[in-house]
Structure 1
Amino acid sequence: MLLSACAGPIPKADPSEAWIGLKEEAPNDLMAERVDGQRVNDGRYFEVTPGDHRLDVTLFEEEPGDDNQQDCQGRIEYKHFKAGEHYTLVESSLGTTVRATLEDGHGKEIAATQDFNCMPG
């Protein structure tokens, strides 16, 4: 994906909201898609009000040496987002299983997705 390479700098976090960064395994690209069903403006991160939210992401999974890309959809729900806190949604793949965990600012896992639903891209 060239989108992240062409995008401008990530804006400064709003201290009245929770910030969720994205971390994927190379060479994959993890993109923010929706918060509570509403499309986000910048696919590089989520920024949400405190409280309960559903985050939808798309993973563009590329296998080394293989030109076939998979597009995988995932969702994570968390009820305790706090203003001013930084979280990270971390993607991991093991064989054909793709999932992600939500970590708080100390790297502690606080929520996890079910397995992603993947289709050839």
Structure 2
Amino acid sequence: MKAKSLMLVPVLSLIALLSACAEPMPKADPSEAWIGLQEEPSGVLMAEDLDGKRLNDGRYFDVKPGTHKLDVDLIVERNGDDGQMNCEAGISFDQFKAGERYTLVEASLGEEYRVKLEDSHGHQIGRSKDFSCMPG
């Protein structure tokens, strides 16, 4: 029974992820900053919390201008029978501006994972702390 329970978690996570992707993206609010996500093909990057509060949809979000702390999850498929890694990190930025678009960009080098925050011109303006990863 325990093995079935362990397999249920990844299946439910996948169902939740696919259902979130099916919904259309709303229009950006010009009085807030818009933050989107860009992941590598081998990973799934989702924003989980904004200033300690759970987000409704981890694919995008608006923030009021000013300082915010973002917590993100990264699920990385590993080669062979190694399964996947579930990773968490945080990133803070103190100059979000209304009407601006920002992107959280996942990047990895081997098993070293990070997320950088870019402005609308592609300039890096922030970076995550080190990811904490565990086998999934």
Pick the TM interval, shorter chain: over 0.9
- How far apart are 1:63 and its partner, in Å? 1.7
Find the aligned partners of 1:15 and 1:119 in 2 and give their Cα distance. Answer: 38
The answer on 1:100 being equivalent to 2:115 is: yes
The answer on 1:50 being equivalent to 2:69 is: no
Structure 2, gaps ≥5 residues long: 1-13
User: Is the Cα contact below 8 Å between 1:4 and 1:44 reproduced in 2?
Assistant: no
TM-score (norm 1): 0.93
Find the aligned partners of 1:3 and 1:10 in 2 and give their Cα distance. Answer: 16
Question: Do the aligned partners of residues 96 and 105 (structure 1) sit closer, same or farther apart at CA in structure 2, a change above 3 Å counting?
Answer: same
- How far apart are 1:105 and its partner, in Å? 0.2
- How far apart are 1:47 and its partner, in Å? 1.3
Higher-Rg structure is 2
DSSP-derived class of the 2:114 partner: strand
Which residue does the alignment assign to 2:18?
5
More helix by share: 2
- How far apart are 1:115 and its partner, in Å? 1.7
Alignment-mate amino acid for residue 58 of structure 2: G
Find the aligned partners of 1:61 and 1:51 in 2 and give their Cα distance. Answer: 31
Alignment-mate amino acid for residue 25 of structure 1: E
CA RMSD of aligned residues (A): 1.3
Map residues 1-121 of structure 1 onto 2, 5 A cutoff.
1-7=14-20, 8-66=23-81, 68-121=83-136
| Structure 1 stretches of 4+ moved >6 Å | none
More strand by share: 1
The percentage of aligned residue pairs carrying the same residue is: 58
Q: How far does the alpha carbon of each residue in 1:22-57 deviate from its partner, in whole angstroms, 9 at most, with x for none?
A: 111112100010000000010111211000000000
